[in-house]
Amino acid sequence: MYPATSDTEKIHFNQLNKKTGHRIKYLKVDAETGKEVSSDEVIKGYKVDTDTYVEVSNNELENIALESTRTIDIDEFVPKSEIDPRYPSLLFGPRWQGRA
């Protein structure tokens, strides 16, 4: 059994300034004051209304995280006779990343 994805197969890109070739940086800025905010001052919040957020800690997120198996559970197969002939691609099952 092999995983569907692996970190060794992933390619990561940086964004660059087209004119200079320098890497682009992202600053965290307070939407109201316009002042830069350090990473240790940033928390997560869930928007419940216009300009109203509920603060959520990383610990709370870990406690509600769903288990991910990264697998597909097949409940049942459909008999070929029940598949409309206008959809021939359905006869061969899903195709992942261009591979049959």
pLDDT of residue 82: 83
Look at residue 91 in the predicted model and tell me its pLDDT: 56
Does the residue 88 lie in any domain?
no
In a domain, residue 27? The reply is yes
Tens-of-pLDDT digits for all 100 residues of the chain? 455 556 666 788 999 999 999 999 889 999 999 999 998 999 999 999 988 999 999 899 888 888 777 788 888 888 878 878 777 665 555 555 555 4
- 42 in a domain, yes or no? yes
CA distance 24 to 76: 49
Confidence at residue 46, expressed as pLDDT on a 0 to 100 scale: 92
Residue 73 counted as domain residue = no
Task: Establish if 100 belongs to a structural domain.
Answer: no
CA distance 60 to 45: 12
pTM (2 d.p.): 0.44
Determine, yes or no, domain membership for 9: no
Tally of domains within the chain: 1
**Residue 74: inside a domain, yes or no?**
no
Task: For residue 48, give the H/E element and its range.
Answer: strand 44-49
Assigned domain for 61 exists: yes
Quote the domain boundaries for residue 38: 18-67
How far is 96 from 83, CA to CA, in rounded Å? Answer: 21
